[in-house]
Amino acid sequence: MSVSDVGASISCAACRATLRSGGRDALSVLLVGRLRIPVVGCDDHLDRFATTCALGGDGSTDLLDHRPAGGIPCPSCRLAPRRPEQAIVPVGDGAVAVVACPSHRDEVVDRFNSGARARQQLPTDLPFDDERDRAE
C-alpha cells in the first residue's frame, strides 16, 4: 500500500489524516539499532510500531518527534520524503509510513514483522495496555 492509496482500509482517522498530509511536520524519527528512519502515523500507532520493533531485535528503539542531533545519516533516507510513493505498514487498525530508502525500509519492516511474531508467542496472561495490543 502507498500513501496515495490511504483510504477506508485504515480505520484510524488520525492515521489517515497524518498520512495524507505528508508534510514535514508529520515526520517522526525512529531510532532502531544504528538506523534513524523517518516515519509517519498518529502518535498511538507510531508508539505501537516502535514497541513492536523493539521486540524484533536487540538494542533500544526510540521514537522522536523531531530530527535527532546529527540528522539522518543516509542520504537516500533524507531524500525519501520527497518521493510520492512510500511503503505503508499496517499496525492494528492504523498504519505507519516508513519513509526511508528501500534497504533501510526493508530492514525496519523485517524487524517490525519479527516483533509481531514475538508478540504472538507471548503468554496471554501477561498484562496488556489495552485490548488492541492483544490483536496484533
Return the number of other C-beta atoms located less than 10 Å from residue 51's C-beta.
Answer: 17
What pTM was estimated for this model as a whole? 0.81
Q: What is the DSSP string of 18-75?
A: HHHH--GGGEEEEEETTEEEEEES-HHHHHHHHHHHHHTSSS-EEEESSPPTT----H
The amino acid at 94: G
Break the chain into its structural domains and give their ranges.
Answer: 3-121
Gap between the Cα atoms of 93 and 136, Å rounded: 10
Taking only the tens of pLDDT, the chain with its 136 residues reads: 445 555 567 889 998 888 887 666 678 999 988 889 999 999 999 999 999 999 888 777 899 988 788 888 888 888 887 776 678 899 989 999 999 999 999 999 999 999 999 888 876 655 555 444 444 4
